[in-house]
Amino acid sequence: MAFKALVALIALAAIAGTDAAITKRVACPDGQHTATNAACCPLFAVRDDIQQNLFHNECGEEAHESLRLTFHDAVAFGAGKQGGGADGSIITFSDIETKFHANDGIDDIVEAQKPFIAKHNMTAGDFIQFAGAVGLSNCPGSPQLSFLLGRPPAKVPAADGLVPEPFDSVEMIIDRLADAGQFQDFEVVWLLSAHTVAAADRVDPTVPGTPFDSTPNLFDTQFFLETQLRGTTFPGRGGNHGEVMSALKGEMRLQSDHLMARDSRTNCEWQSFVNDQEKLVETFPTVMIKLSTIGQDTANMIDCTEVIPIPDPLPKNRQSATFPAGHSNKDIEQGCAETPFPTLPTDPGPATSIKAVPLNS
């Protein structure tokens, strides 16, 4: 497939200059682990601590919010803009950055992560990206994300207005991400794969924890399918800035996702993910390593990917995308005119209704 070659090229470019030449393994002081670089050894204890005491070994709210935090910290960067990208400034200067409108609600995960940063003496920039990768590993179907160690402490807070919002236009989002990290149109879609394990607390505060697809604890392609279904209902009171109607009871649809799925610049790439788990798993690590090193000198960083757990595969009954019960191809608002929409089975039973993601799991 053509995208595989592209993924390989981008990945090689993203990690060029990293400390990948070290191949001899060293014994870690804990007597349990080995690593390709001794600097990675302390991360095993950090991983075990946050798995048990932050994520509770679950693909729950803390894992979802930690992944969100990787984006909100890193993308606040651009030509002539104040901020160091993926430098942890959103935690170091939390009294400033959590007050930005785009960061509404992110203060909960910021405060939850602070004690672990202090305990393990990591820079906030490193911890944010490490926690995002570890948290995602709890979501079956997800890829193992790369992690590079070595972000220096943030020196200044990021400027306001640099994190895209759900009510922004497709053009605004594409331009902002191009400025932040030279992301191309199709890479913006790749980044939004994160919404397959996501929920909204503040878009409609009357229904916190409302997921963006019917399988918020699985890293699968349902998100790309369900955002193309014709919207008919709101999960809560409706009429919220940045929200449009969803097809499923209990599901939140962001206006920006709705538009990306239908815009001529992104709709075919969006549709290409429907029922293509292989592509989902191959592209997300590629775009995440690019995101996680915005503003950083990768030549001075150490590859500690081996510390990130290898996620479980999707359950056998969720290996393929399916239309939620009560829906079929006739409910699709297809934006891509280049290729037919995939033919998929429909789940049996009554119309699908989705439960909220439990808060503070």
- Positions marked catalytic: 72
Distance of CA 342 to the CA centre of its chain: 25
Neighbours of 317 (CB within 10 A): 7
Neighbours of 182 (CB within 10 A): 10
Report d(CA 36, CA 338) in Å as an integer.
Answer: 46
**Which class for 177: exposed (0-12), middle (13-18), buried (19 or more C-beta within 10 A)?**
buried
Which two tokens mark 121? Answer: 């003496």
Element (H, E) at 253: strand 253-254
Neighbours of 343 (CB within 10 A): 9
Report d(CA 194, CA 47) in Å as an integer.
Answer: 21
Q: Which of 152, 174, 146, 156 is nearest to 290 (CA)?
A: 146
Report d(CA 264, CA 335) in Å as an integer.
Answer: 7
Find residue 148's DSSP bridge partners: 303
| Amino acid symbol at 351 | A
Report d(CA 225, CA 322) in Å as an integer.
Answer: 8
Which two tokens mark 334? Answer: 């297809």
Residue-wise burial string across 264-302, b where 16 or more C-beta atoms lie within 10 A, e elsewhere = eebbebbbbbbbbbebbbbbbbbbbbbbbbbbbebeebb
Dihedral of CA atoms 260, 262, 267, 271 in degrees, nearest 10, equals 100
